[in-house]
Structure 1
Amino acid sequence: MCSVLSHCINGDNNEVSVGAPMVKTEQEALYSAIQGFMGNWWNGSDLYPDPCGWTPIQGVSCDIFDGFWYITDLSIGQIYDNSLPCAPNLEFRPQFFQLTHLKSVSFSNCIISPNQATFSIQTANWDSFSSTLESIEFRSNPGLSGPIPATFGNLKKLQSLVLIDNRLSGNLPVNIGNLTHLKRLVMSGNLFTGKIPENYGYLSELLIMDLSRNLLSGSLPLTFGGLTSLLKFDLSMNQLEGEIPCGISNLKNLTLLDLSNNKISGGMNFADQEMNSLEELILSNNPINGDLMNFNWQKVYKIMVLDLSNTGLTGMIPESISNLKNLRFLGLNDNKLSGNLSPKLAELRNLTALYVNGNNLTGDLKFSREFYQKMGRRFGAWNNFNLCFPVAKVPVSVRPFGLKLCSDS
């Protein structure tokens, strides 16, 4: 694909594409579609008489099919510094759906006012793009409300569906699970409710699933163990409950698992297979409960970020965590953990933040002065009332905050 912002060579005969003609109906459809989004003041035929050649339109890309220019990408809204702003009464005109080669469409920072009710993605004729559209993006449109159009599920070539920071609501459409070529499903920062459809677990080509910052409820579908291509999995800041399915450990390519700020419980029992790509495991602010002693830490040996803060954990902190050689951040604060803090944690060379504050840890700390100097205020151990540090080993300048001195005895 060629951007209209540069000259390019296209076509079977490597002809110079700048001089290629554009079908008149395609050009007129483009002008009318953009005018519907920008307002009647916008006169494309005067401003951009050659939109795929020497007078390119910002946010519009073209490609050549059968020797003619056609529109393939359309980006509307405040994307670039010189982008044209959307009209307060923007609309989908019928001509927009006559762009028969359109592959990608995005609306960013465009639908600002809740009063822009004339702009409805529910009633738009998305079926017209069922054989061409590969990417849809609505980003940062606080005036965009209502449910996701069920017709999105008919876009059989769709690879990327991005709906971020709008005010879309309702249940997640079940037929989104029919989009077998989908690689990116990002619908964060909306008002979606209800359960996650089980057939979302059949999206075998999916690389990113981000449904964070919504009002989703229910348990995690057991089918999620089938998302074996998944790289990033973020369901944080919802109202999800129940246990983490053991099938999650089937996701061998997963680098990020973020289920924080939900109502997930059932203990740390899901790593029954090696998750050899996992780098970030974030489960904070859930009533997970249970302990850490029986978790198979060797199954997540590449972990870099481990955040289990405020998860109701009890028991001791296993010494085996010190075998996670890539660990950079360890958050175990605000739990009910007890026992001593192993000095072997200081052997983690990559560790730059360790938070165990707000627990029931006991005994004296046995870390070196160099460890405290390295960590600074990123070592949190306060609010462990029976935990102390030996003053003789720790100069005043590097003493950990909020801890008492051990008695001489």
Structure 2
Amino acid sequence: MAMRSFSNTHHAISVIFILFLCVWCNGQEEEASAAPMEETEKEALYSTIQGFVGNWWNGTDLYPDPCGWTPIQGVSCDLFDGFWYVTGLHIGPIDENSLDCAPNVEFRPDLFAFKRLKSLSFFNCFVSPSLHPISLPTDSWGVLSGMLESLEFRSNPGLTGQIPTGFGHLSKLQSLVLLENRLTGELPTNIGNLTNLRRLVLSANGFKGQIPYSFGVLDKLLILDLSNNSLSGPLPLTFGGLTSLLKLDLSNNEMEGKIPSEIGNLKNLTLLDLSRNNFAGGLIQSLEELCSLEELILANNPMGGDLLSVEWNRLQGLVVLDLSNLGLTGGIPDSISGLKRLRFLGLNDNKLTGNLSPKIAAMPSVGAIYLYGNNLTGELKFPEGFYGKMGRRFGAWNNPNLCYPNGLGGSTSHGPYGVRKCQQEVTLYGVDDPDLKSNMGNNGNLNQNSQFIPSLGFSRYGGEVFWCLFLVATSMVILL
């Protein structure tokens, strides 16, 4: 009886709690639907959007309640003190019903009238660099400093000019993305003031000059992408302080100098791409300290040096290793073959020498190995099935002194693409004869004027004996 009474009581409490939740939620919905929007906020929203999509757009008629029952695609709102405020504004063809920009877009001052704006982005909005180029407003960004957390301009070929220094006042900013625009000039040093940044992407613009040392104090950064610009100068030593960084991409610039050893402090780094620059000074040992690294891409730099300066087996997380066209010399160490997770190995277009260890073919995860354009020598001793599996993804061509055994590459077997077969050795009779050696050149080949006939196995006098026998036999035939 006591257990049944407890169960009934528990059930009754649950029912009451559910009813309470329903009433509370209903009240919240009624409050939200009935909540007004400040008139100044609504007018600023209509005017701002109209500046981007065109004067034909009439927000008052189309969206009389933009945060309520007639929401605008790309606009996010939230309640503060019983009023609706705009918290997100996203312009451009992101979704199916998004607002598309007009050819003659303009930034209106009303953009800076929003009191609670947290996120602002423009995608493929400014598209005419020749007919209607447009620059970012230089003033008023500080007005948004108290709330704005994300600012993005993506794929806007008509967006020109420089980054406003006012961006450096957006102290709450966590994400700054300026990707695939036509912005130019030098990077503002006061970007280093944005100490809350987690993501800084300034890729595929026309930025030039050196990377400010102040960027190295952004110790909360997770992603730093400055690729595909015209940045020059050395990699700042302060980058060793970016200890939270997961991805660092500086590829396709004009940077130079030696990679600083401080880069080894980035223990959380999973991607390091410094390809297509002018870095020199060889591979630094501190690369082996990047214990979380999955992709190391240094290709197309006049770096020089050799592969022995790094203990590659310490980078067991590596999936991609691209060291092509670095001017590397020496051999390929066995430690590279110990990378169990490696899928891509690019060592092509260097000056590497020596034999290839069969251990390279035994890497369990590898799917592509490119070694072409080196000076590798000797006989490839890889399993025949390896060539069949890899096909042209095993690239060893343009190594003139590299070959594979004659037994491979028949009608039903596979050989490495672009690699010649090893020539069979010829055993010569009487090779130790001093008279024979005198008829051989410096490279071990017979002189063309030699009377030696290896196919018959005679000595250098063998031709005369054979001729005498021929004359005797001819005479006997005539006498008969």
Q: Normalising by the residue count of structure 2, what TM-score does the alignment of the two structures yield?
A: 0.81
Q: Indicate which of 103, 108, 111 corresponds to 1:88.
A: 103
* Counterpart mapping for 1:189-200 below 5 A: 189-200=204-215
Contact 1:192 1:215 in 2 (8 A): yes
Distance 1:118 1:234, change over 3 A: closer
Shift of residue 272, structure 1, vs aligned partner: 5.9
Letter paired with 1:98: A
Aligned length: 400
> CA-to-partner distance for each residue in 1:316-339, whole Å, 9 max, x for gaps?
000110111111000000000000
* Counterpart mapping for 1:7-406 below 5 A: 15-16=28-29, 17-115=32-130, 119-271=134-286, 274-396=289-411, 397-406=413-422
Distance 1:310 1:377, change over 3 A: same
> CA-to-partner distance for each residue in 1:198-256, whole Å, 9 max, x for gaps?
11011000000000000000000000010000000000000000111111111011000
Q: Distance in 2 between matches of 1:236 and 1:208?
A: 14
Contact 2:288 2:310 in 1 (8 A): no
Contact 2:288 2:315 in 1 (8 A): no
Out of 71-80 and 233-242, give the one that drifted further: 71-80
Out of 232-241 and 23-32, give the one that drifted further: 23-32
Q: Distance in 1 between matches of 2:417 and 2:86?
A: 61
Which structure shows the higher helix fraction?
Answer: 2
Q: Distance in 1 between matches of 2:133 and 2:313?
A: 55
Q: Distance in 1 between matches of 2:27 and 2:192?
A: 40
Alignment gaps of 5+ in structure 1: 1-8
Shift of residue 277, structure 1, vs aligned partner: 0.8
Q: Distance in 2 between matches of 1:81 and 1:50?
A: 21
The residue number in structure 1 matching 2:444 is none
Contact 1:75 1:107 in 2 (8 A): yes
> CA-to-partner distance for each residue in 1:48-102, whole Å, 9 max, x for gaps?
1111112111111111111211111111112223222212221121211111111
> CA-to-partner distance for each residue in 1:267-286, whole Å, 9 max, x for gaps?
01142663221000000000
Which structure shows the higher strand fraction?
Answer: 1
Q: Distance in 2 between matches of 1:100 and 1:137?
A: 19
Shift of residue 23, structure 1, vs aligned partner: 1.5
Contact 2:247 2:269 in 1 (8 A): yes
Q: Normalising by the residue count of structure 1, what TM-score does the alignment of the two structures yield?
A: 0.94
Q: Distance in 2 between matches of 1:236 and 1:67?
A: 49
Contact 1:267 1:290 in 2 (8 A): yes
Q: Distance in 2 between matches of 1:13 and 1:198?
A: 54
Distance 1:42 1:283, change over 3 A: same
Bigger RCO (CA 8 Å, 6+ sep): 1
Letter paired with 1:344: K
Q: CA RMSD in A?
A: 1.8
Q: Percent identity?
A: 63
The residue number in structure 2 matching 1:5 is none
Q: Secondary structure at the match of 1:293?
A: helix
